[in-house]
Amino acid sequence: MMSARTQAVVIVMAIAMSIGGTAQQFKSKAVGVRVDVLVTNGRQLVRGLEARDFELRDSGVVQSVAEIEIEQLPLNLILVFDTSTSVAGERMRFLLQAGNALLDQLRAQDRAALLSFASRVRLLAPLTPSRQQIRSALSTLEAKGATSLRDAAFAGLAMREDDPGRTLVLMFSDGEDTASWLKMPAVIESAKRTDAVVYAVVLAERRYVPVSLLNGTGQVTVQHAGKFLDRLTEESGGRVIFANSNSDLRATFTRALAEFRDRYVLSYSPTGVSRTGWHQLDVKLKNKPGRVTARRGYFAE
């Protein structure tokens, strides 16, 4: 007979499988590999770059890259919202406003989905072009229960489908993971096997507050949630963005989506590297100032 922990992990895996099968892997075949890239200089986005401005190494081997016009690619926006008890009241009201504001920014060809998480992960709306379906799902959110942050991240990544679009997993949480069964390494491993980019929005007031919480295995603090989100976003090529207050959630969400749209998408057909296994990626600018943020690598089939 399975233990309670094993049963819970199986349930989380089943949720992910029912949502989107296994997370869509990078393809290193004729279609090539796509790498989503953010370029900043200080706090400013660097715009106007071309493929020739980048050097991309796959497993240490320089590749010939081309830039894809991102306006030609549909966007899959996967919203993953914390609805634990701490989100109740004013915070939930502002969270709903922020979610609805994001829907107003989507184009006709874009799709959205909604996952909520508290003591368990709930799929409230699968990827759909229907804005009304997402709005209706948002209206059902209520805050109660613990926080299963890692389980929700895993489920969100699994929603990446085998389509030509770009996928942004936008997560919001205001605190520590207190209910997940999956451990960090399992979730990070899933991030390595998909080209979804994760942006995490957290409240600055909660980020480094040493609030001790009991999760059944010992005392943990808010810093641990930050460590997980840092690893998750770094692995996927995204980042953590801080909202200064509840009322700042709308502007922060909108800024995250706008930044994602301003990223570069580089494409190449792998040359001189293995056709299978883990491929370490290194992307940098050749002769221009700026910091490049991109996923760390990919698994080839």
pTM (2 d.p.): 0.87
Decide if 249 contacts 97 (C-beta within 8 A): yes
Query: Residue 170: what pLDDT?
Result: 98
Dist CA 183 CA 185 (whole Å):
6
CB atoms closer than 10 angstroms to residue 230: 13
CA angle, 205 then 209 then 214, to 5°: 125
Which pLDDT score is estimated for 10?
A: 46
Residue ranges in the chain modelled with pLDDT below 50: 1-11, 18, 20-30, 208-223
Spell out a b/e string for 14-44, using b for 16 or more CB atoms within 10 Å of the CB, else e: ebbeebbeebbbbbbeeebbbbbbbbeeeee
Q: Amino acid identity, residue 236?
A: S
Predicted pLDDT of residue 168: 98
pLDDT of residue 219: 35
Cα–Cα distance, 283 to 196 (Å, whole number) = 17
pLDDT of residue 164: 84
Domains of the chain, CATH where assigned: 4-24+73-261 (3.40.50.410), 33-71+273-294 (no CATH)
Token couple for 213: 């919480």
Instruction: Check residue 16 and give its pLDDT.
Output: 55
